[in-house]
Structure 1
């Protein structure tokens, strides 16, 4: 049976704010985060994860629960 939930890698850009009158050359930080996507609805589950391992663990649990419910 095909997995319903899959892990998607997403880009995350952190923009640093500054106050009026401040001179700041802080560049945005480009990082990644991981989200769980539902292949049926093309939506996302949860808030996202900083670690790919955490996202995959949660994804496996969701897929296991959905297979039990389908039977």
Structure 2
């Protein structure tokens, strides 16, 4: 059976602010984060994860639960 939930890598740009009177402005940082996508609805589950392993762990749990429910139904 194919997995319903998959981990998607998303780009994130971190913009640094500055206070009044400061002249130096740091450039934005490029980073990544991970989200769990539902392949049936193309929506996302949860808030997102900074570490890929955390997202994969939750994704495995969700897929395991969905497989048990499918067999019972």
Q: Same fold per TM (> 0.5)?
A: yes
Give the whole-Å Cα distance in 1 for the aligned partners of 2:17 and 2:8.
28
The corresponding residue for 1:2 is: 2
Unaligned runs of 5+ in 1: none
Deviation, 1:19, is 2.5
How many pairs does the alignment contain?
Answer: 71
Q: For residues 8-63 of structure 1, what are the alpha-carbon distances to aligned partners after superposition, in whole Å with 9 as ceiling and x for unaligned?
A: 00001110111333212301111100000000000000000010001001000000
Equivalent residue number for residue 67 of structure 1: 67
**Ranges in structure 2 where 5+ consecutive residues have no aligned partner:** none
Separation in 2, partners of 1:39, 1:61: 16
Pick which of 17-26 and 39-48 moved more.
17-26
CA distance in 2, matches of 1:3, 1:17: 41
Does residue 1:38 correspond to 2:2, yes or no? Answer: no
1:12 equivalent in structure 2: 12
